[in-house]
Amino acid sequence: MNDKEKNSMNFKLSFKEKLSYAGGDVACNIVFGLTTTLLTLFYTDYIGVSAAAIGVVMLISRIFDGFSDIIMGVITEKVKSKHGKARAWVLWMAVPFAIAGVLLFVIPPGASEMFKIVYIFITYNLVTTVAYTALNLPYSALASLLTRDQNERAVTNVIRMALSPLGRILVTALTLPLVSLFGDDQKAWIITTSIFSIIALVLLLICFFNTKERVNITAAKEVKVSAKEGIKALIKNKYWFMCLALWGMLSVHSTVMGIDLAYYCKYILNNQNLTGIIYAAENVVMILGIIILPALLPKFGKRNLALGGCLIVVAASLLLPLNPLDYRFIVLISGIRGLGEAPLMGVIFSLIADSVEYGQYKTHIRQEGMIFSAASLGSKVGAGISSAAVTGVLGMMGYISTTAGNAVQPDSAVSAISAIYIYAPVIIWAVAAIILVFYKLDKRYPEIMKELTIREDRGEL
């Protein structure tokens, strides 16, 4: 182990670097947040495409997206540049990501239903399967390349996840009011998303110019690992599997609630502008919860805090049926949910980063790009299945898609919207809690890092 490698073991990041890194995820969530929240409402109520068709498109797209994650993981491990193996992609993909986000909404309004569906399929995959994958997965891996200090990495990811929801809050809270301000039509959506995309582009450039890759292990350079060997090593990493599932649960929750909330406010609370208020209540409290995590992590550990948070979400969700039509009560419950979501949301990428070290310990193969990319498979597949499930259920329950103003929805569709919003979080967070019961890496991490230090001093992995 050379001096640079030893330095990366305990390197302390500046607050500027941590903040700049976090801004990258705000940017990702500005554009990606639209695809998991209000995009479905745009397709059904402004373009007139059926909910069932959108569900099929999103499901197929997410399957493609999941495979693209594995491919991107291999590419990240193989491609090197003067900017590093992960950080470079933030620069390369910033402009394509911003442009692709706007293209989602530039659908020819007079086109046939089939043409619209094909256009949606192409642009949706351009954003999620191509641009977002090539940007966000190397960006996520970058966290494990800034430093190997577990506490510094945890704090960096906590700041990231504290700011990350700001992107989704921005688009969820401001999109519909801005759309109304600009004319409440398709052109208004294009103007609004163009503004958001420019903000995302600026944040990505700030992230690139203010971060630096420091983890560069000599022994890892000398070990040539084929894609087949990398996948075999991945399969032996049980904590990667757990992280994949946990990230999947977070994505399922974000997708289901993001899609259904707009419909819940529009057709049950009879005021779609409440969408931003309720969404913000949940996410602002979640941000505050994430902010205080660094003070709690040394005492309770990542796993214990995340497990306790899951139980809070389940308990709060079970209270919602007491008064499901009072938006003030819903805001309160959403805030409690946000508090419970904070620990897992705050530590998920630290858990994945820790699984990189465990994978090296277990298999003598280090693969930051592959682990982060493959872990996101759970996120992509979870989002695809859940978005298809929500839109599919609405379609089966008779949801009416139209561009001719507010439609009178059948009771079956309204009941489905209500049931999804109230009971889906109970199931999602109960599954996450069960997974966390079996997570034991927090306790083993110090001994694993001690062993890795000895190995690397010998020039081994």
Alpha-carbon distance 363 to 236, whole Å?
8
Q: What is the mean pLDDT of the chain?
A: 87
Whether 120 shows a pLDDT value over 70: the answer reads: yes
Digit-coded pLDDT (tens) for 294-347: 889 889 999 999 999 999 999 999 999 999 999 999 999 999 999 999 999 989
pLDDT number for residue 385: 81
Digit-coded pLDDT (tens) for 42-66: 998 899 898 888 888 887 887 787 7
| Listed range (22-26, 91-95, 194-198, 255-259) with the worst mean pLDDT | 255-259
pLDDT number for residue 100: 95
- Residue 174 and residue 289 in contact, taking contact as beta carbons nearer than 8 Å: no
Q: How confident is the model at residue 217 (pLDDT cuts 50, 70, 90)?
A: low
Q: How confident is the model at residue 2 (pLDDT cuts 50, 70, 90)?
A: very low
pLDDT number for residue 315: 96
Whether 227 shows a pLDDT value over 80: the answer reads: no
218 located within any domain: no
pLDDT number for residue 154: 80
Digit-coded pLDDT (tens) for 362-421: 888 887 777 877 677 777 778 778 888 888 898 889 988 766 556 788 999 999 999 999
Alpha-carbon distance 234 to 152, whole Å?
25
318 located within any domain: yes
Return the closest-CA partner of residue 208 out of 65, 95, 376, 79.
95
pLDDT number for residue 231: 80
146 located within any domain: yes
pLDDT number for residue 25: 93
Global confidence as pTM: 0.73
302 located within any domain: yes
393 located within any domain: yes
Q: In this structure, what token pair is assigned to residue 180? A: 């109304």
Instruction: Please state the rounded mean pLDDT for residues 201-221.
Output: 83
Q: In this structure, what token pair is assigned to residue 427? A: 């199931």
Percentage of the residues of the chain whose pLDDT score is greater than 70:
94
415 located within any domain: yes
Q: Which residue has the higher pLDDT, 217 or 68?
A: 68
Whether 69 shows a pLDDT value over 90: the answer reads: no
Digit-coded pLDDT (tens) for 128-152: 889 998 998 889 889 888 888 877 8
Residues in CB range of 83: below 8 A, 6 or more apart: 91, 208
Q: Which residue has the higher pLDDT, 165 or 430?
A: 430
Percentage of the residues of the chain whose pLDDT score is greater than 90:
45
SS3 sequence of the chain: CCHHHHHHHCCCCCHHHHHHHHHHHHHHHHHHHHHHCCHHHHHHHHHCCCHHHHHHHHHHHHHHHHHHHHHHHHHHHHCCCCCCCCHHHHHHHHHHHHHHHHHCCCCCCCCCHHHHHHHHHHHHHHHHHHHHHHHHHHHHHHHHHHCCCHHHHHHHHHHHHHHHHHHHHHHHHHHHHHHHHCCCCHHHHHHHHHHHHHHHHHHHHHHHHCCCCCCCCHHHHHCCCCHHHHHHHHHCCHHHHHHHHHHHHHHHHHHHHHHHHHHHHHHCCCCCCHHHHHHHHHHHHHHHHHHCHHHHHHHHCHHHHHHHHHHHHHHHHHHHHHCCCCHHHHHHHHHHHHHHHHHHHHHHHHHHHHHHHHHHHHHCCCCHHHHHHHHHHHHHHHHHHHHHHHHHHHHHCCCCCCCCCCCCCCHHHHHHHHHHHHHHHHHHHHHHHHHHHCCCHHHHHHHHHHHHHHHHHCCCC
Digit-coded pLDDT (tens) for 429-449: 999 999 999 999 988 888 998
CATH number at residue 249: 1.20.1250.20
Domain containing 143 equals: 12-208+225-457
Instruction: Please state the rounded mean pLDDT for residues 118-136.
Output: 92
pLDDT number for residue 31: 87
5 located within any domain: no
Q: How many domains does the chain have?
A: 1
Whether 81 shows a pLDDT value over 90: the answer reads: no
Return the closest-CA partner of residue 431 out of 303, 349, 310, 320.
310
Q: How confident is the model at residue 223 (pLDDT cuts 50, 70, 90)?
A: low
Alpha-carbon distance 404 to 425, whole Å?
32
216 located within any domain: no
Number of other CB atoms surrounding residue 225 within 10 Å: 21
